[in-house]
Structure 1
């Protein structure tokens, strides 16, 4: 369980930093998200932060969650953490029964997970989905050349005779389905369709965020 405490968002800036109000004091915290974070935090939103016990860190607090149209996990590193735990516990039915290895090099990329059993190998690339618009979840929330590259790698994996999976980790409690954000990155949407036709599987996994964090303070509603 990840222990988190509440604060009020003042503003995000310099991509990796945000000012928040903690009680009667303002503080600068680390933002572990390189994306646009569209609809994931505006001035006055209630957020939840974790605290590191590493004395070498310049910013001890890390923005983990936002309460906005539900509960949103903005720490993109949690996607692989939650998916990895689920894979090892056999909680994703179509990906159960494998040995799990994280961060495996394939071609010019590093694939998030390699699953193996007998003579079968399955490569899984994880993407964090937090963009909710008009009751629909979308990925990506900004143009992603890196994401486009990963789709091409997954196609190559299928062509090499392996199983390849693009897994959307839904880290927004209000999202129930995911679509390619053609209105944001049409090239990604085009490549995703191409990947599916080539045999790349697309799956979703939605962890219960309230079970992943320990809320210290006013509980999330």
Structure 2
């Protein structure tokens, strides 16, 4: 996954979930934030960020906030990109060796899962979650309560009962982390639901990513501690 027209900037402020003020080329620009999470540990005063410049006159903002440097880490914070990198990763032969079909945004009962996959002898639903919250090498999800995520995990258990395979894939939008765990301090019910899902047969996976200013690609599996 590669971005075009990436420019370095300095974070100034975030008036709301959707926009941020960023200094780009010595001018403060209003940027679209492609992540509605809190991200308070990332978007700190004067943090070095990377924004994508758009040439579409119909856009309300000229720039989108893509990445940030936290300490020595380059972190991608685009919440739309995890699905794209997972699709690329699967199509390269990862996770399923005999892939027949991969279909994004598949409705099932009362949910819409990120992917429906078929192999020669299996059918599976996959839900993808992007992870940007990190503390001393430990990465966590969510950074804010997620009723939608809770619903998805519970409905994946129903998929298992109905004879499908089911996966939750946590895409860690950085590399060289220690392990992944649910953020029970923020949303204990989500962490409990993950434990129940694993017992029910849902595959709970985490993968880290090689991240640069303008690229992100899945690298390795990361240990999951529930």
Give yes or no for TM over 0.5. yes
User: Which of 10, 13, 19 pairs up with 1:11?
Assistant: 13
- Select the residue among 193, 196, 201 that pairs with 2:195: 193
Q: Report which of the two has the higher share of helix.
A: 1
2:90 matched residue in structure 1: 87
Shift of 1:211: 8.4
Q: Which runs of 5+ in 2 are unaligned?
A: 217-226
Q: 1-side partners of 2:213 and 2:45: how far apart?
A: 26
How many residues are aligned here? Answer: 212
Render the CA deviation track for 1:2-26: whole Å, top value 9, x for unaligned.
Answer: 1311000001121100001112211
Given the two structures, how large is their TM-score scaled by the length of structure 1?
0.91
| RMSD (Å), alpha carbons | 1.6
| Residue pair 2:74, 2:213 contacting (<8 A) in 1 also | no
2:171 maps to 1:169: yes
Report 1 or 2 for greater relative contact order, CA contacts < 8 Å, sequence distance ≥ 6: 1
Residue-by-residue CA offset, 1:22-76 (whole Å, 9 max, x unaligned) = 1221111000111111422111000001122322101021000000130111110
Match of 1:217 in 2: none
Alpha-carbon distance in structure 2 between the residues aligned to 1:109 and 1:54: 33
- Partners of 1:211 and 1:47 lie apart in 2 by 9
Give the equivalent residue in structure 2 for 1:204.
206
Off by >2 Å, runs of 4+ in structure 1: 94-97, 172-176, 210-214
Asked if structure 2 preserves the Cα contact closer than 8 Å seen for 1:136 and 1:176, the reply is yes
- Which ranges of structure 1 fall in alignment gaps of 5 or more residues? 215-221
Q: State how far apart, in whole Å, the 2-side matches of 1:60 and 1:206 are.
A: 30
- Counterpart residue number, 1:2: 3
Range that drifts further, 144-153 or 170-179: 170-179
Provide TM-score, normalisation by structure 2: 0.89
